[in-house]
């Protein structure tokens, strides 16, 4: 491929994200784009910043370097390098934890090659689904890129890799430092066995020039949102540990995200209630934490002032920990409310869910008395299929509303 030209921007730098299709370098959905006329992103002095061609926006997007406060890409995070104990070195030179380079993970995991290929593998992932997914994004940090000869990611249906797909990246498609690698899931480099959409193991392979060191730190993988279909929202009240142990992996494997109603004064204190670390893990995988009050009091049995305090205490708890996407979404404790409570909470909330059965047939919605569909009213055979047993208490299933 040395005689084939890379696709370059207006300054002559290779466009990030291109790949070799067997005949030439291409950028997914970027064929025919005149990059010499496409404006690059620049800093205050007019110098280009690290960037790549974003096929979704049709322009350049910034690669934010050296911070774990980077905004997350669209999609769901299905794996990160946070837990070193889950990774093993299959072969090669060295694997180690990296506490210096993190974007979306609490810790990175580094594969080091010294001239021979090094492969690291995680067989302890929470299985995730690629059903109806078209793209995947992987974040890696590269040191000594000039020594890199290749990088590949393997997605397997089983831990023995009898059925897998791999996606390879040539050294010329990566840069020193952070790389945001967009992957077309329909265009694998290699495919083995009867591959299906359920992923149970991931392997990263790094290769370098002979007798030369290269380090690649794996940060995280996000899969793109599924093709659009009618939408529902899964909500689970109270933050029971069974929601973390049962519902979370069950839904992740099927490509779903859910929402947990947090009772802030119960977290880490009450038995059978999630710890903060469990909540944080679910949040990193795209789940939202919504407001279920501070102590789960019946808000109609206390003063209006106390009711408002219950809601605002939980709202502040969520915001202080970065769970602010749904802190203004409330599920009334026990589903109960009255006119005075609704009016008092109006300035503080975007939406509140009752236990009134039904779907909303018209817009606008009455935002603070939202209806719901209790899945416990589904036939027992369906509930048993969802739970895998006859134990379908609300702590496992929660509620569903559209």
200, 100: one domain: yes
Last residue of a domain, one of 223, 255, 283: 223
282, 381: one domain: yes
The answer to whether residues 267 and 274 touch, using CB atoms and an 8 Å cutoff, is yes
267, 124: one domain: no
Q: What's 182's domain CATH number?
A: 2.60.120.260
What does the pLDDT read at residue 48? 65
* 270 exposure class (CB count in 10 Å sphere: 0-12, 13-18, 19+): middle
389, 240: one domain: yes
Last residue of a domain, one of 205, 223, 241: 223
- What is the residue whose two structure tokens read 């209806």? 371
241, 216: one domain: no
Measured distance CA(245)–CA(157) in Å, rounded? 21
What does the pLDDT read at residue 1? 52
22, 110: one domain: no
238, 346: one domain: yes
What does the pLDDT read at residue 401? 36
342, 244: one domain: yes
Q: What's 302's domain CATH number?
A: 3.20.20.370
246, 388: one domain: yes
Local mean pLDDT, 10-residue blocks, the chain (402 residues): 67 68 70 69 66 65 45 76 91 94 90 95 91 87 92 95 92 84 86 88 95 95 69 85 90 85 92 92 91 96 96 95 92 93 92 78 68 62 47 41 34
Last residue of a domain, one of 197, 223, 249: 223
311, 289: one domain: yes
Domain that holds residue 37: 1-62
50, 84: one domain: no
211, 272: one domain: no
* 400 exposure class (CB count in 10 Å sphere: 0-12, 13-18, 19+): middle
Residue 228 belongs to some domain of the structure: no
Tell whether the torsion through CA atoms of 227, 232, 233 and 236 is positive or negative: negative
Residue 67 belongs to some domain of the structure: no
The answer to whether residues 119 and 91 touch, using CB atoms and an 8 Å cutoff, is yes
Measured distance CA(87)–CA(356) in Å, rounded? 46
Question: How many distinct structural domains can be found in the chain?
Answer: 3
What does the pLDDT read at residue 275? 94
């Amino acid at each position: 491929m040395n005689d084939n030209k890379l696709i370059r921007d207006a300054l002559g730098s290779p466009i990030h994200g291109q790949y070799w299709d067997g005949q030439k370098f291409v950028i997914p959905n970027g064929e025919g784009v005149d990059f010499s006329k496409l404006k690059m992103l620049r800093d205050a002095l007019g110098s280009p910043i690290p960037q790549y061609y974003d096929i979704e926006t049709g322009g350049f997007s910034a690669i934010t370097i050296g911070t774990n406060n980077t905004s997350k890409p669209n999609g769901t995070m299905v794996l990160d390098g946070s837990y070193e104990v889950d990774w093993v070195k299959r072969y090669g030179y060295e694997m180690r934890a990296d506490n210096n380079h993190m974007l979306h993970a609490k810790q990175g995991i580094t594969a080091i090659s010294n001239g021979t290929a090094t492969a690291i593998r995680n067989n302890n992932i929470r299985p995730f689904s690629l059903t109806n997914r078209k793209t995947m994004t992987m974040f890696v940090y590269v040191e000594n890129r000039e020594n890199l000869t290749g990088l590949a990611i393997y997605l397997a249906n089983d831990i023995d890799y009898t059925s897998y797909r791999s996606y390879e990246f040539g050294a010329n498609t990566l840069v020193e430092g952070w790389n945001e690698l967009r992957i077309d899931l329909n265009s694998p480099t290699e495919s083995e066995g009867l591959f299906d959409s359920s992923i149970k193991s991931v392997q990263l392979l790094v290769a370098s020039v002979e007798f030369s060191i290269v380090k690649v730190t794996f940060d995280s993988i996000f899969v793109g949102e599924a093709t659009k279909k009618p939408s529902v929202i899964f909500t689970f009240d109270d933050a029971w540990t069974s929601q973390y142990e049962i519902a979370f992996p069950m839904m992740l494997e099927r490509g779903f995200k859910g929402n947990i109603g947090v009772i802030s004064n119960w977290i880490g204190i009450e038995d059978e209630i999630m710890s903060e670390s469990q909540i944080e893990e679910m949040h990193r995988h795209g789940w939202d934490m919504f407001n279920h009050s501070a102590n789960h009091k019946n808000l109609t049995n206390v003063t209006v002032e106390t009711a408002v305090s219950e809601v605002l205490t939980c709202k502040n708890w969520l915001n202080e920990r970065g769970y602010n996407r749904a802190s203004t979404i409330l599920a009334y404790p026990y589903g109960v409310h009255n006119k005075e409570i609704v009016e008092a909470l109006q300035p503080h909330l975007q939406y509140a869910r009752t236990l009134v059965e039904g779907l909303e047939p018209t817009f606008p919605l009455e935002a603070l008395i939202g209806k719901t569909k209790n899945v416990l009213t589904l036939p027992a055979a369906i509930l048993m299929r969802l739970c895998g047993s006859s134990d379908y208490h609300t702590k496992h299933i929660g509620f569903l509303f559209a």
